[in-house]
Amino acid sequence: MSAYKTPEFLVVIPARLGSTRLPRKPLADIGGKPMVVRVAERAQQSLAQSVVVATDSAEIEAACREHRIECLLTSADHPTGTDRLAEVAQLLKLPANALVVNVQGDEPLIPPELINQVAQALANNVQCAISTIAVPISDASEINNPNVVKVVLNHAGEALYFSRAPIPFVRDSQSTQKIVHLRHLGIYAYRAEFLQAYTRLEPAPPEQAEALEQLRALWNGYKIAVHTATEAPPAGVDTPDDLERVRRLLEP
């Protein structure tokens, strides 16, 4: 953390049962607890004032209640997790300047410090509506991997563009200037007033082409602060193999 005063923020964890690669993923058992509960417990280790799971599933709500995790039932019609966060901000009657950190419900190993860092980045950059995290790419094969989202920053550490393509493209491989490619991590902090504005924005052409939701904000002129972390956190859970890996790591 920096010398700045630690900001007040809350964590919201969107969770839904629908998953093509790993059915009922939020309720997958990890050491006797559902995955969404494991994620919430990691988030509770951050400096957040509160941690809330947002879901459209009564089963997920019941699992959270059983483990004393705050949970809100939200609409089943939200097209994105950001829309679900906007409903939570309304339900909680958050003030316009409240900071909301979106932690994905399939990140049971997320470092609490990463949550603090993304909140701090937004608090430090009052001109930005969103903040997120990037890490330097050390494995060159990731630069051309479309499943690895890259981001290019301006001199102020704000996002210029996110892409699945290799950006920036290094035209002259003999260039003496060392380019550090950055991998974007899918954790965000938002100002509550932006969440309400987001629900009124139409999907943007670059967003639809890249299948990257954050491009809607850039397309409409919102600024995104990017904190560059030193190393990537452990991978989340997308597949049965991922689930087994996390289970082994969290074995008592």
Residue-wise DSSP of 188-220: EEEEHHHHHHHTTPPPPHHHHHHT-TTHHHHHT
Q: Which of 138, 146, 137 is nearest to 166 (CA)?
A: 146
Domain ranges of the chain: 9-243
Residue-wise DSSP of 47-99: S-SEEEEEES-HHHHHHHHHTT-EEEE--TT-SSHHHHHHHHHHHTT--TT-E
Confidence of residue 239 (pLDDT cuts 50, 70, 90): confident
Confidence of residue 2 (pLDDT cuts 50, 70, 90): very low
Dist CA 252 CA 250 (whole Å)? 6
Dist CA 68 CA 77 (whole Å)? 26
**Taking the domain 9-243, which CATH number applies?**
3.90.550.10
Q: Which of 34, 12, 147 is nearest to 88 (CA)?
A: 12
Given a cut of 90, is residue 39 above it in pLDDT?
yes
Given a cut of 70, is residue 144 above it in pLDDT?
yes
**96: alpha, beta or left, given left = phi > 0 and alpha = psi -120 to 50?**
alpha
> Which residue, chain included where needed, has tokens 């609409």?
75
Q: What is the pLDDT at residue 1?
A: 42
Q: What is the pLDDT of residues 102-130, one digit of tens each?
A: 999 999 999 999 999 999 999 999 999 99
SS3 125: coil
The 3-state DSSP composition of the chain as helix, strand, coil percent (nearest 5) reads 30, 20, 45
Q: What is the pLDDT of residues 178-212, one digit of tens each?
A: 889 999 999 999 999 999 999 999 999 999 999 99
CB 187 within 8 A of CB 101: yes
The percentage of residues in the chain with a pLDDT greater than 90, rounded to a whole number, is 76
Q: Which amino acid is at 141?
A: S
The pTM of this model reads 0.92
